[in-house]
Amino acid sequence: MESEGLKLLKARRSIRSFEDRTIEDNILTEIFETCRWCMSAVNRQPWEFYVIRNKDLIKKIAKECTTGPFAASAPVLIVLVGDKEVQPNWYVHDLCFISLQLALAAWTFGIGTCWIGRINRDNVKDILGLKEKDHLLTILPLGYPKGDIPDPRPRKSLNEFVKYFDLKNKG
């Protein structure tokens, strides 16, 4: 029997179109509160969330999102930044983990997001006044999905990526 948790993990989709609807403060806070419990190397928690809700600033930053212009339609952008001095070795890993934690926490409220990979990072860092030590990993637009939830993308089958090494090499 599939638990509610597993259903949630499997149902998440990247969302690239958002309703013109505010995300309530208490919901945003609950999502961030859940992010506090994310794993991180040596528990350093090197992340910072820059929360952008001003429409003009959202549009300005979205213009720098080469592969995520849809960010312009989101009511909230989270610019996900890591402090390289706090965790020089694992900041990228830690930021990746918290981006997933954030995406899943948001999804429990019916709020979608999508990772944006190609960004003019230096321009966004300038806009926000970030420093050299600040690594801008991604920008996560948050919002209620507009229209239908996208169909699932194709997935590898288990036998394509799960290798039971112990059984194969028995004896």
Ligand X SMILES: Cc1cc2nc3c(=O)[nH]c(=O)nc-3n(C[C@H](O)[C@H](O)[C@H](O)COP(=O)(O)O)c2cc1C
| Contact residues: ligand X, CB under 6 A | 13-14, 16, 67-68, 114-118, 153
Shortest distance, CB of residue 137 to ligand X, whole angstroms?
9
Sheet holding 134-142, edge to edge: 47-52, 76-83, 134-142
Tokens 């806009």 label which residue? 127
Three-class secondary structure of residue 141 per DSSP? strand
Shortest distance, CB of residue 166 to ligand X, whole angstroms?
30
Amino acid in position 154 = P
Instruction: Find out whether 64 and 119 touch, Cβ atoms under 8 Å.
Output: yes
Note the maximum CA span of the chain.
65
Q: Which is nearer to ligand X, 67 or 89 (CB)?
A: 67
Q: Which is nearer to ligand X, 68 or 145 (CB)?
A: 68
Q: Which is nearer to ligand X, 5 or 85 (CB)?
A: 5
Amino acid in position 135 = H
Q: Which is nearer to ligand X, 28 or 114 (CB)?
A: 114
Shortest distance, CB of residue 66 to ligand X, whole angstroms?
8
Shortest distance, CB of residue 15 to ligand X, whole angstroms?
8
Q: Which is nearer to ligand X, 46 or 112 (CB)?
A: 112
Shortest distance, CB of residue 104 to ligand X, whole angstroms?
11
Q: How far apart are CA 55 and CA 76, in angstroms?
A: 9
Q: How far apart are CA 72 and CA 68, in angstroms?
A: 8
